[in-house]
Chains A and B, each alone.
Chain A
Amino acid sequence: MGKRVGIEVSLAIAEAAKMADVDVIAAYPITPQTHIVEHMAEIVANGDLDAEYIPVESEHSAMSACLGSSATGARTFTATAGQGLELMHEVLYVASAMRLPIVMAVANRALSSPLNVWGDQSDLMAVRDVGWIQIICENGQEAFDHTICSFRIAEDNRVLLPVMVHCDGFYLTHVVEPIEFPTQEEVTNFIPKFKYPLPLDTSKPVSMGCFAPTFIYTEAKKAQEVNILNSKKIIQEHWDAFGKAFGRYYHPVESYRTEGAKTLLLTLGSFGETAMTAVDKMRDEGKSVGLLKLRLWRPFPYQELRKAVGNAENLIVVDRALSFGGCGGPAYSEVRSALYSEKNHPKVVGFVAGLGGRDITVTEFENMVKRAPQIANTGAENEYEMFGVRE
């Protein structure tokens, strides 16, 4: 067994990547970066990890360098946040389509303008469609665990996809939490060094990311889609193995006190911890309220979500991002769509809350539960509301 350490979550993520014995880290070190890559640089400079640290000139270059290193079969890690993730955007599609098992920690932050770097999931939602496996963490331990476990998922020959490990900026990345560290031996046994099946190799040349005219592009995209859809059961397989090895079990949708609940809250990321406290309080007061936490964002866990929602009458989806002029919260839109075909689906209400790092407290989750039925009964085309906005 390892030990329990009080550590800033960003540093813990870097320590996880170190324990994963990564070969290459390519990162751009300037705002809105976090301590993740700063600490990785220290680890490599101190000789505590035998790896190449490539300090590049932009986030676009960071992801491009990751493509190259991953294509040679090197275990590759990077981290970014907010605007940095946006600058990577076009290269993210290349990583997934080329099936390169890069692991990237993302500190979720607001996007300009106005300038704001605090906790927000606008960056996360903007990369929804890039073809990466996307896991959303609720606390520091999860961020540490998923950084390690994601290498095992990404490098599985049946998967071979890049993975984003999302952690709310500041709420997770900049706080000190107690985190269980496994031993190096346990981690090494869990994620042994892998061999990319078709790496860049001068003795057996291959070309990656080639030109695909109209006669083959559709087939390429179909193959990519089938691959990420099939990854869902393999992700669960590895999460189960992680649970057996380290005692913490993870699922695409986590349920908290949902037994017989008429109203369910659904959150992504660090909202979950506050919402649990709110649910405890409301349950103590005899209210029929439970909580769902969406951990796996891509591939989207349709069956698991439907099962977890069960016979609830109201479902309140709390987004920390806004799709302008569209559906309100992106998660709200997807969840509502996922339940559309169900015979007795609940009324789904969306709140967009906590933008730009604004705190959402226990009382505010209680207020959402009170407010939701009023919105649901308006019959408005989009039953969502920006929560806590001053009128």
Chain B
Amino acid sequence: MNIKKTVIASMLGLSAISVNVQAEQFTVKIENLTNGIFFTPLLVAAHDSSTSLFQTGTSANASLEAMAEGGDISGLAADIAGTSPTTAENPAAGLLAPGANTTTSMLNTDGTANDYLSIVGMLLPTNDGFVGLNSWEIPSTAGTYTFTINGYDAGTEANDELTTSIPAPIDFGTGTGGTGVAASDNNTNVHIHRGSIGDDNSTGGISDLDNSVHRWLNPIARITVVVQ
């Protein structure tokens, strides 16, 4: 396909035009492999090399904070819109439950420089955890590419693990009456999430999360990209 494009470009005398030589059509499947953590609406974006949705070791902007604390991807989508990314917003049409998976419709990056794939979605119930993929280079060769990705902490909210600070669109099996696990984040930049701690007391203890339901170890999700 790339060869053909080069040939056509030569025939048209357009050799100076730099077109993308990466994948052009692909789907992205996201599997939630956690025990008891839901993913809020996901933002799946193919974008150019100068764009990103998040970066570890840097402070989260307001849009990333809104996604990680409240599940709202509209700010991030608006932030990158100027670079004309190829996106799939909310492919699961709501929460992606533990054990469930979702696949985007066909994404077509033909004629763009959108050669890098990023994915974000909030983890519920957490304070500001999110599942993330940052700028994975999309292969040019047709095939099926599978890998796993981790949970991150936006660093914007203390991980107190209290229901008063965690949105709950559905019942996640959380408790009440916790005293709060942590009062502040030591690392206020985006970082790998340490995991929730929870406890086995649904009406007290330090956390409103259940330690047999809401813990996880990284990785937490599998990504399968099928390049046509």
Partners in one complex: no
By a beta-carbon cutoff of 8 Å, the part of chain A in contact with chain B is none
